[in-house]
Amino acid sequence: MQAKKSYGQHFLKDDSIAAGVANGLQLAHETGRVLEVGPGMGMLTKHLLAHKDYETWAVEADHDMVDYLKKHYPDFSERLIFRDFLDFNPADTFGDAPFCLIGNFPYNISSQILFKLLDYRTQIPEMVGMFQKEVADRVVAPPGSKTYGITSVFAQASYKTEYLFTVAQDAFNPPPKVLSAVIRLTRKDVFELDCDEKLFRHVVKTAFNQRRKMLRNTLKPFLPAEQLMEDPFFQKRPEELGWEQYRDLTRMIKTTETP
């Protein structure tokens, strides 16, 4: 089987790394269900199927990979969904039941996968995934670091983020040009933002679109000029604020909106 650039495919060939990814799951036995994204030829899938205390499902967009998996894992066929994960509706398969998410995620849609995870966070208590290292670093980065940004804020608002391990290029065929990394996101006990979520995302994106500027300059569309200039809080730059401060900022902006 040849990897296809259009699907961002790089097949993992190191079995010990595949086992490490699979074993990164901690809550699968509680949910009873795991969904793998982009199983490819099943390097990770076989380790998931070995766990009998939960049911493994997979969604795959490449018909050649689907045919391969059905041939080599015939008992798995009924739980293999031929679809692009970005078009996948969990309710069609799981109803409103919880499930864990896992995968060696295609790098060309990895950020979109993260946003979909957040959209369905009420059903997904845990995610373990392999990403391009640069993306993984952004997800787990703390406030104040150079890599801290929009993805960091959104992910950390609902999930505890952990960096598990780095994966070298030679673990794949064909080898990617970049390092990879495996991270785990575990949903917090309180994972709803308790603010206008649409406005929250808008505020965060607006702030980081000009991350070198102070908030008094980037937040002009949201708050009165006098407040922005007088309050020393707005002398901060976007990377200095944790997600809680962005939540509080969203609440503040909401109260100043014209009815």
Task: Print the SS3 string covering 73-134.
Answer: CHHHHHHEEECCHHHCCHHHHHCCCCCEEEEECCHHHHHHHHHHHHHCCCCCCEEEEEEEHH
DSSP H or E stretch at residue 59: strand 55-60
| Model confidence pLDDT, tens digit, residues 180-195 | 999 999 999 999 999 9
| Model confidence pLDDT, tens digit, residues 20-50 | 999 999 999 999 999 999 998 999 999 999 9
Q: How confident is the model at residue 175 (pLDDT cuts 50, 70, 90)?
A: confident
Non-local (6+) Cβ contacts of 208 within 8 A are 149, 150, 238, 239
pLDDT for 232 equals 93
User: Is 61 in contact with 40 (CB distance < 8 Å)?
Assistant: no
Beta-bridge partners for 33:
55
pLDDT for 176 equals 87
For the chain, the structural domain boundaries read 5-187, 197-256
| Model confidence pLDDT, tens digit, residues 53-74 | 999 999 999 999 999 999 999 9
Going by C-alpha positions, the residue among 90, 82, 80, 83 that lies closest to residue 117 is 90
What is residue 51's three-state secondary structure? Answer: coil
Best CATH choice for the domain 197-256 from the list 1.10.8.100, 1.10.3470.10, 3.40.190.10, 1.10.579.10: 1.10.8.100
CATH 3.40.50.150 fits 5-187, yes or no: yes
Whether 5-187 shares its CATH topology with 197-256 is answered: no
Query: Does this model's pTM top 0.85?
Result: yes
DSSP H or E stretch at residue 157: helix 150-158
pLDDT for 53 equals 94
Cβ count near 220 (within 10 Å): 12
